[in-house]
Structure 1
């Protein structure tokens, strides 16, 4: 299987292209000889699922200043958000 294929060629045979990719193999899809997409075969045993996110790892290590949301006067004025 080639490492690169035009989008026109890929459109009619996407299912066959996917089936023909070896685990971990990549196929670059081009449009007018410019890469526009990459088809990557899943590696056996891998999963697209990710572990559930858990917050709090940096608790107590990060501080946000009390005036974090307040723009300096000159910048607020430049954006038209000056106090009225």
Structure 2
């Protein structure tokens, strides 16, 4: 698939890396599976960069539109899973 990660031009390089890492974690959940801790850690860092719920929804919707992968459903699955779970979508 060819799509771009949603980015904000005002983010620092470190913030962009954190956002990309989260979206890559979502991709991994769909493609191969990812340990819950790895996904949750990536999401926590993403939320440090994107604390606003409205902004989160905007970026996640853009990612889902381009990739077909739902960050919302992935994070929801992780929150409901046991600590040692592998998240597979």
TM-score bracket for this pair, using the shorter chain length = under 0.3
TM-score normalised by the chain length of structure 2: 0.23
Structure (1 or 2) with the larger CA radius of gyration: 1
TM-score normalised by the chain length of structure 1: 0.24
Identify which of structures 1 and 2 has the higher relative contact order when contacts are C-alpha pairs closer than 8 Å and 6+ apart. 2
